[in-house]
């Protein structure tokens, strides 16, 4: 028997966009139902993406540190040769995910959001039927927030299954593969490839572009490439992957030469696509922008009172973007005058070393003569040297307008620089000028001093270089 339910707000998807929208709707007193049929509360980010990958990366870095101590010592510290029980590491990672799942569930309950576990299918823009373990529920809503997220792109000649895996399976392996081939040199492939190299796997990367992380400028990616080469990671750039047969991946090199790479696992990370299939989007009458749902600066679709947030709406596909959009949509539904118009959405690659980019970079201002660019190397920073973060070619770089010194962009590469990303974004969002950063007393000794020094250098009077 089908139940019927009417609500003020119906949210589809419990990822970082959907659950944040739900909590904010509840805080604002809006009757809200959240339907989740995907990865679970927290979506891709919490369950099979951001959080578990950073946990595995952290464990891999710890393992590498002990391995260094066993191989001649480091910082005067010696240790016995380490071993990794990846099954136990994954269990620890799963415990973190469960704890965060429980936390999200508690927050939604506190906000009086009704959560329904099941797959929704829309018959029109405001009505869907949810198949649950206890039967079907038909839900009608005044407002609908679409937050279905994204999924890994599958290559037709390398379908997922068996030893061909996506990032989801890579984060739940029970042992470190002897040989791992990563297809795709973007941030997901590099983050996981580097982690498994630290854990002892032999790693090769196959990338169609002529360099890694092609969306970033060469100065930012060179330290990452240097790490890969120093640590014996094979790089096949300008190369095309083919089928995987009998433990070997077929590859065509940049010069057209065909060769094979042995692999215990092939990790395919060639991007993500919006999750638009299987839930009746075609019945909702919303306009599309290519593969994405088209929205305006209020996250409104072309259908009245139907909203969309997160990966479904286009690049950048970042969890913090979805959360910000979800919060804004809830406030708009509650009658507040809001717009989604960020100055910058900072992005981080948790590679070795890490990369941060906020605002405009050199590729965006190429050919312009009205921009000041200044770089401060981490090797000149006391804190960086004290925590072994100064020897990898890392730096902080600022771009600012010559006329009024307003910050246009900030980038960094180096160990631990991900923690600087919020400072970069905050200064850009506030419309800061170089003098604002220079005039802020930065704590010593910290990594953030590099931002201060880069700004001083842009003004022509850096102290420590």
DSSP secondary structure letter of residue 412: E
Between CA 61 and CA 54 the distance in angstroms is 10
* Catalytic residue list contains 405: no
Q: How far is CA 382 from CA 63, 76, 221, 387, 463, in A?
A: 26, 19, 23, 9, 13
Between CA 350 and CA 353 the distance in angstroms is 7
- Can you give 255-311 as a three-state secondary structure string? CCCEEEEECCEEEECCCEEECCCCCCHHHCCCCEECCEECCCCCCECCCCCEEECHH
Contact assessment for residue 75 and residue 193, using Cβ atoms and an 8 Å cutoff: no
Residues 6+ apart with CB under 8 A from 337: none
β-strand pairing of 407-414 with 288-289: unpaired
Distance of CA 267 to the CA centre of its chain: 17
DSSP secondary structure letter of residue 394: -
| Placement of tokens 């983050």 in the chain | 191
Between CA 449 and CA 392 the distance in angstroms is 18
Active-site entry in 320, 336, 405, 444: 444
Between CA 84 and CA 95 the distance in angstroms is 18
Which of 182, 229, 179, 181 shows the shortest CA–CA distance to 202?
179
Distance of CA 43 to the CA centre of its chain: 13
Distance of CA 344 to the CA centre of its chain: 15
Contact assessment for residue 306 and residue 284, using Cβ atoms and an 8 Å cutoff: yes
C-alpha atoms less than 13 angstroms from C-alpha of 391 in its C-beta half-sphere = 4
Structure tokens at 252: 């065509």
Which of 241, 243, 94, 235 shows the shortest CA–CA distance to 161?
243
Which of 370, 374, 359 shows the shortest CA–CA distance to 431?
359
Q: Which residues are catalytic?
A: 444
């Amino acid at each position: 028997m089908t139940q019927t339910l009417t609500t003020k707000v119906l949210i589809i998807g419990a990822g970082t966009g959907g659950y944040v929208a739900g909590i904010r709707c509840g805080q604002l007193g809006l009757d809200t139902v959240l339907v989740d049929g995907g990865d679970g509360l927290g979506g891709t980010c919490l369950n099979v993406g951001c959080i578990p990958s950073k946990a595995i990366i952290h464990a891999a870095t710890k393992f590498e540190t002990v391995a260094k101590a066993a191989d001649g010592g480091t910082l005067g510290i010696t240790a016995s040769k380490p071993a990794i029980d990846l099954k136990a590491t994954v269990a620890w990672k799963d415990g973190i995910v469960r704890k965060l799942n429980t936390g999200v569930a508690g927050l939604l309950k506190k906000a009086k959001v009704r959560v329904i576990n099941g797959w929704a299918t829309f018959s029109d823009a405001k009505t869907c039927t949810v198949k649950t373990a206890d039967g079907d529920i038909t839900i009608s809503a005044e407002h609908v927030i679409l937050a279905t997220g994204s999924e890994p792109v599958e290559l037709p000649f390398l379908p997922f299954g068996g030893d061909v895996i996506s990032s989801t399976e890579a984060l739940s392996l029970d042992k470190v593969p002897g040989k791992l081939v990563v297809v795709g040199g973007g941030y997901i492939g590099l983050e996981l490839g580097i982690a498994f190299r630290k854990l002892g796997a032999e790693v090769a990367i196959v990338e169609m572009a002529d360099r890694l992380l092609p969306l970033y400028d060469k100065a930012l990616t060179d330290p990452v490439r240097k790490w890969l080469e120093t640590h014996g990671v094979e790089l096949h750039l300008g190369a095309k992957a083919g089928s995987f047969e009998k433990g070997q991946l077929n590859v065509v090199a940049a010069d057209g030469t065909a060769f094979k790479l042995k692999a215990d696992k092939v990790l395919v990370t060639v991007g993500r696509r919006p999750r638009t299939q299987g839930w009746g989007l075609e019945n909702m009458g919303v306009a599309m922008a290519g593969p994405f749902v088209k929205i305006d600066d209020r996250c409104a679709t072309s259908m009245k009172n139907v909203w969309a947030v997160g990966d479904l709406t286009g690049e950048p596909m970042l969890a913090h973007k979805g959360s910000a959009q979800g919060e804004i949509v809830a406030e708009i539904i509650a009658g507040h005058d809001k717009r989604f118009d960020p100055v910058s959405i900072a992005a981080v690659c948790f590679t070795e070393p890490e990369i941060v980019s906020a605002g405009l970079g050199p590729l965006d201002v190429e050919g312009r003569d009205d921009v000041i660019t200044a770089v401060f190397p981490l090797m000149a920073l006391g804190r960086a040297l004290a925590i072994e973060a100064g020897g990898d070619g890392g730096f902080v770089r600022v771009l600012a307008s010559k006329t009024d010194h307003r910050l246009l962009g900030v980038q960094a590469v180096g160990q631990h620089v991900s923690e600087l990303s919020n400072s970069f974004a905050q200064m850009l969002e506030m419309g800061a000028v170089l003098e604002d950063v220079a005039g802020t007393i930065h704590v010593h000794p910290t990594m953030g001093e590099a931002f201060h020094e880069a700004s001083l250098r842009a003004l022509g009077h850096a102290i420590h270089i």
